[in-house]
Amino acid sequence: MLGRNSYGKSGIRLVRVDRGGTDHAVSDLTIAVRLEGDFEAAHVAGDNSLVVATDTMKNTAYALAKEFSGREIEDFALELSDHFLRENSHVSLSEVSIEERLWNRLSASSFEGSSNERRTARVRRSRDSVALHCGLKDLLILKTARSAFSGFARDRFTTLPETNDRLLATSLTAEWTHEAAAGPFAGRWEAVRRTLLDTFSAHDSASVQHTIYAMGEAAIGAHRGLAEIRLTMPNRHHLLVDLAPFGLTNENEIFVATEAPYGLIEATVTR
Amino acid sequence: MLGRNSYGKSGIRLVRVDRGGTDHAVSDLTIAVRLEGDFEAAHVAGDNSLVVATDTMKNTAYALAKEFSGREIEDFALELSDHFLRENSHVSLSEVSIEERLWNRLSASSFEGSSNERRTARVRRSRDSVALHCGLKDLLILKTARSAFSGFARDRFTTLPETNDRLLATSLTAEWTHEAAAGPFAGRWEAVRRTLLDTFSAHDSASVQHTIYAMGEAAIGAHRGLAEIRLTMPNRHHLLVDLAPFGLTNENEIFVATEAPYGLIEATVTR
Amino acid sequence: MLGRNSYGKSGIRLVRVDRGGTDHAVSDLTIAVRLEGDFEAAHVAGDNSLVVATDTMKNTAYALAKEFSGREIEDFALELSDHFLRENSHVSLSEVSIEERLWNRLSASSFEGSSNERRTARVRRSRDSVALHCGLKDLLILKTARSAFSGFARDRFTTLPETNDRLLATSLTAEWTHEAAAGPFAGRWEAVRRTLLDTFSAHDSASVQHTIYAMGEAAIGAHRGLAEIRLTMPNRHHLLVDLAPFGLTNENEIFVATEAPYGLIEATVTR
Amino acid sequence: MLGRNSYGKSGIRLVRVDRGGTDHAVSDLTIAVRLEGDFEAAHVAGDNSLVVATDTMKNTAYALAKEFSGREIEDFALELSDHFLRENSHVSLSEVSIEERLWNRLSASSFEGSSNERRTARVRRSRDSVALHCGLKDLLILKTARSAFSGFARDRFTTLPETNDRLLATSLTAEWTHEAAAGPFAGRWEAVRRTLLDTFSAHDSASVQHTIYAMGEAAIGAHRGLAEIRLTMPNRHHLLVDLAPFGLTNENEIFVATEAPYGLIEATVTR
């Protein structure tokens, strides 16, 4: 028996250049489309008559990008997801995810790539509901003060020393929901992001869990329309190097940055 | 308000060498541990007294690997997940995921790395239930015959030509559940994998959806204890190169392999 | 017969926090050490008595980072390379390469990760010479105007249309040599980088080759001590999407960004 | 002044299916072309009249793949490199590099991806010489016995303990030159590869240097036409986990596999 199933196109790379003003503007997007609906005949009988080809999804993204006048990825995800539902009565759910790489201006028509951070928007649209998830992905942040980890549970496998001053680094991913899936979005994303960064910087952290909650709480508190925020903070451990064998004292100064293993802390904060 | 939250350690790299027989054996594992439970005080008040450090999780994996006599990753995931629940009364869910890289024997004590494919096991264990998910990840497969894609829906954005003979390539990920989360597991994983590959090879494919269902159906049909299987098959498109400008005919022979965009097809088949 | 050989340690990850002032400072380095010298006995006879363990190289980097008061990677590479030559009379060449990830300040003690760009320094030191190569790596840049590619050679395999207005994107890597391998280095790296970016922005590009030479020429021209600069510019192609099948005109606006294949242009400019 | 310069196309992905016999055959290639020659006008004056577009290089690879009847990458690299030199009198050097992913047969027309290992061929062709370099890349190998590292130099930064029984793992890259750049190549590559693996397995290793030389020496010794072989063996360290804190003894059984830092050992062996 066929259970839950979906299909779509991922990795659609679309760069749009707006040449309207004196300054050019660049939108650098990676788009994924995913549909659910009445696709049983395709699976069970090899009948493709209701299958929207994933190549068509790709074409649709490029064509609608041309026709679409907006610049915010939230608007474009709302538009694209609506298209697939409207045009295909057998589709029950349409999900469009967009990741935007940000470029920093060098001149009127030249740009420098930003960090690995991506601005994200994801719209899940069914016949009777629409949910917009805004967010950011892979934002590297690090603090060299106000981070402790002590008083944790100890058992026979615990060797980690307590610390009241550690280096805390993470690659933040966050996704939040506004109560209304409606714009204008310009400025709103920057504001939530700013709250998250400010809280990360200022917080007296007792643990990653402590800071992740503080960041979520601050975001919910400072931004009226925010219904919920989900934060993921891998702990990219920086270990103090033991310099004692060389007759040196490491006064919280020399660290080795490690990739694996890593702590992985996730939490949702709601209103 | 704190909503759903969890934390754990990912990327624990553990290689175990068994030197017991005349031939050495190697287990090359990457382990992730994830816990849910009563962690509100840690988030809200910075009280770590109930927090099992993720460093302790890592230590536990290494220590139990030493004490554990079994070789199958399913058994080890069951053991590890049980440990965290048993030792910590405030933990409500313990999930352990293991990915195994396979090595091919060169001699009694030397080995050659296998492909990127990984054998996987994942145990989700709560106070009153345990679910074991077996699987494989990132298995590259390709077929050069018996693959068509035609008769699909066409709209104003459709440009894809129909084809009755295309190259079909994917990187298969699958996860299945046995009705009983109990061994012996040796041989069972290979058998399910074999069914998936045989079906992929033999199927007259009308689409990726058609083949994904056939593979799931065959696995459920051939393996009595299999309750459910979930398959993910990205369509790694190989496009026919247009050689006409050079006065040449491409008789389904010369392709360009592309990374992006890619179709992404997912389906679950149940009994 | 043993021919050319060398060995060393790569991927030494070192993060140093300077807590001296009111603002903390972070140096985030990845270091590689490579030695050549009298290592024939190690290779041919398994005699390790002259082998400096690569683990010792790693320890040395951490220990010297503690003792070393400077902040510039050029100085540290000079120091480290000198150490290995001075301490080991059988070593004939010592090469130290350092890549620095840059962090942007968020507060007195918190930071946001920069882009993928790395600042680089590489010192090759023999018994009678020392060469310092400064540089940058993987700097993403893009221009939306002043870039053409026309009038190129055409043969029977040429299908590329001429264009007078294309999008030009690259991931710049550059390495340059100052006539004297001596500091102070602070400010000098930023100045060369600025010249490269300004030239990229302003140049009326007839090809990547044309722009790469202009950038190198500008760097040599503007910075007196610069003896030589080597630039590598992969052409990260952005292809104009054909929207005609959808009844739309693409006025140099909608592009697909591709990863492969890519042009690869390299040139050295000397004084 | 323009110094050394070159340009070309990299990442040309070409999959060829031979449908001639009862069994299909797949060649999965990634090709790079690089030219040197009289390109000063392109750099200095923006004159493209002698520039072979890199897009044309890509087209040429696809077209010649259609016309070319051979299956060995060595032959195809010889053919392609010859084309560019023959057709362009202003080109002085043409270098073609091909990496082949190997696929294992599942049935007459289906295949399973091999490991990350690649078979490689590289031809450097000038007006009066041609050099063919055959090789392999990224072959993961590991041995659990017959590997020691002791008796190495010790200074004040040395902390590494001596060991007579360590786990040795590497990702082998090798490139060798046959005295005559002429086929038939079928079988020859497999034979050299087999010698390298057999020697790695059987060698009583005193160090990576010791083993790299033994492998090179064996290859030169066993294969008459081999003029030279260059081997690169990163030391992918597997560290013994300290289980003493848990009251357990680690009898060379439980290791942590690390990615960074890594030793990097390179040597050339000549006749």
A213–chain C nearest CA distance, Å: 18
| Confidence (pLDDT) at D179 | 87
How would residue D232 be classed by pLDDT, with cut points 50, 70 and 90? very high
Separation CA B235–CA B259 (nearest Å): 9
| Confidence (pLDDT) at B270 | 98
How would residue C71 be classed by pLDDT, with cut points 50, 70 and 90? confident
Nearest neighbour of D246 by CB, restricted to A156, A259, A260: A156
Distances (CA, A) of B208 to B160, B193, D49: 16, 18, 47
The fraction of chain D above a pLDDT of 90, given in percent, is 95
C259–chain B nearest CA distance, Å: 8
**Across all residues in chain A, what is the average pLDDT?**
97
Nearest neighbour of D207 by CB, restricted to C2, C42, C228: C42
Residue type at position C260: A
Residues 29-58 of chain A with CB under 8 A from chain C are none
| Confidence (pLDDT) at A180 | 83
User: What are the percentages of helix, strand and coil residues in chain D, rounded to 5?
Assistant: 25, 45, 30
Cβ neighbourhood burial of C9 (10 Å; 0-12, 13-18, 19+): buried
Q: Which residues of A are catalytic?
A: 9, 54, 237
Answer yes or no: is pLDDT of C252 > 90: yes
pLDDT, one tens digit per residue, over C158-174 is 999 999 999 999 999 99
D187–chain C nearest CA distance, Å: 26
Name the neighbours of A, counting chains with at least 3 Cβ pairs within 8 A: B, C, D
How would residue D69 be classed by pLDDT, with cut points 50, 70 and 90? confident
Q: Interhelix angle for C188-202 vs C208-222, to 10°? A: 140
Answer yes or no: is pLDDT of B143 > 90: yes
Say yes or no for a CB contact (<8 Å) between D7 and C269: no
> β-strands A110-126, D2-18: how paired?
unpaired
Q: How many residue pairs bridge chain A and chain B with CB atoms within 8 Å of each other? A: 221
Say yes or no for a CB contact (<8 Å) between C43 and D209: yes
Q: What is the pTM of this model?
A: 0.98
Measured at the alpha carbon of residue D109, what is the angle toward residues D103 and D111, in degrees to the nearest 5?
25
Say yes or no for a CB contact (<8 Å) between B26 and D108: no
B261–chain C nearest CA distance, Å: 10
CA C182 to chain centre: 19
A96–chain B nearest CA distance, Å: 13
Say yes or no for a CB contact (<8 Å) between A256 and C14: yes
Which domains can be identified in chain D, with CATH numbers? 7-128 (3.10.270.10), 139-270 (3.10.270.10)
Task: Confirm if C14 and C29 have CB atoms less than 8 A apart.
Answer: yes
Residues in C closer than 8 angstroms to B260, CB to CB, are: 259
Answer yes or no: is pLDDT of B21 > 90: no
Answer yes or no: is pLDDT of D249 > 90: yes
Best mutation target among A264, A269, A271 (most B Cβ atoms within 10 Å) is A264
Q: How many residues does chain C have?
A: 271
CB atoms within 10 A of CB D253: 17
pLDDT, one tens digit per residue, over C131-158 is 999 999 999 999 999 999 999 999 999 9
| Confidence (pLDDT) at C145 | 97
**Across all residues in chain D, what is the average pLDDT?**
97
Residues 6+ apart with CB under 8 A from C45: none
Set B58, B133, B178, B237: catalytic member: B237
| Confidence (pLDDT) at A6 | 98
How would residue C20 be classed by pLDDT, with cut points 50, 70 and 90? confident
Residues 6+ apart with CB under 8 A from A195: A215, A218, A219, A222, A223
Say yes or no for a CB contact (<8 Å) between C157 and D13: no
A234 has which bridge partners? Answer: A264
What residue spans of chain C are helical by DSSP H? Answer: 40-45, 54-67, 73-87, 188-202, 208-222
The answer to whether D88 faces chain C, any CB pair under 8 Å, is yes
The answer to whether A89 faces chain B, any CB pair under 8 Å, is no
Residues in B closer than 8 angstroms to D83, CB to CB, are: none
A155-160 contacts, C-beta under 8 A, 24 or more apart: A155/B52, A155/B56, A155/B87, A156/D246, A156/D247, A157/B56, A157/B59, A157/B60, A157/B63, A157/D246, A158/B53, A158/B55, A158/B56, A158/B59, A159/B55, A159/B56, A159/B59, A159/D245, A160/B53, A160/B55, A160/B56
pLDDT, one tens digit per residue, over A154-212 is 999 999 999 999 999 999 999 999 988 888 898 999 999 999 999 999 999 999 999 99
User: What are the percentages of helix, strand and coil residues in chain B, rounded to 5?
Assistant: 25, 45, 30
Answer yes or no: is pLDDT of C89 > 90: yes
Q: What is the mean pLDDT of residues D190-218?
A: 98
Nearest neighbour of B246 by CB, restricted to D63, D108, D139: D63
The ipTM (two decimal places) reads 0.96
How would residue B229 be classed by pLDDT, with cut points 50, 70 and 90? very high
Answer yes or no: is pLDDT of A43 > 90: yes
Which of these, D24, D34, D18, D40, lies nearest to D81 by C-alpha position? D34
| Confidence (pLDDT) at B182 | 85
Answer yes or no: is pLDDT of B69 > 90: no
pLDDT, one tens digit per residue, over C189-238 is 999 999 999 999 999 999 999 999 999 999 999 999 999 999 999 999 99
Q: What is the mean pLDDT of residues B81-90?
A: 98
Separation CA D120–CA D134 (nearest Å): 6
How would residue D180 be classed by pLDDT, with cut points 50, 70 and 90? confident
| Confidence (pLDDT) at D21 | 86
How would residue C39 be classed by pLDDT, with cut points 50, 70 and 90? very high
How would residue C183 be classed by pLDDT, with cut points 50, 70 and 90? confident
| Confidence (pLDDT) at A190 | 97
pLDDT, one tens digit per residue, over A50-90 is 999 999 999 999 999 999 988 899 999 999 999 999 999 99
| Confidence (pLDDT) at A21 | 86
| Confidence (pLDDT) at D71 | 86
- Name the residue with higher pLDDT: D179 or B175: B175
Which of these, A242, D42, B122, D84, lies nearest to C213 by C-alpha position? D42
The answer to whether A224 faces chain D, any CB pair under 8 Å, is no
Residues in A closer than 8 angstroms to B160, CB to CB, are: 53, 55-56
Q: How many residue pairs bridge chain B and chain D with CB atoms within 8 Å of each other? A: 171
Q: Which residue of C has its CA nearest to A66?
A: C254
Answer yes or no: is pLDDT of C182 > 90: no
How would residue B128 be classed by pLDDT, with cut points 50, 70 and 90? very high
| Confidence (pLDDT) at B242 | 98
| Confidence (pLDDT) at A177 | 96
| Confidence (pLDDT) at B20 | 87
B157–chain C nearest CA distance, Å: 6
Q: What is the mean pLDDT of residues D89-100?
A: 98
Set B30, B54, B137, B210: catalytic member: B54
| Confidence (pLDDT) at D209 | 98
Best mutation target among D99, D110, D138, D204 (most B Cβ atoms within 10 Å) is D110
DSSP-assigned letters across all residues of D182-198:
----TTHHHHHHHHHHH
Task: Confirm if A170 and A233 have CB atoms less than 8 A apart.
Answer: yes
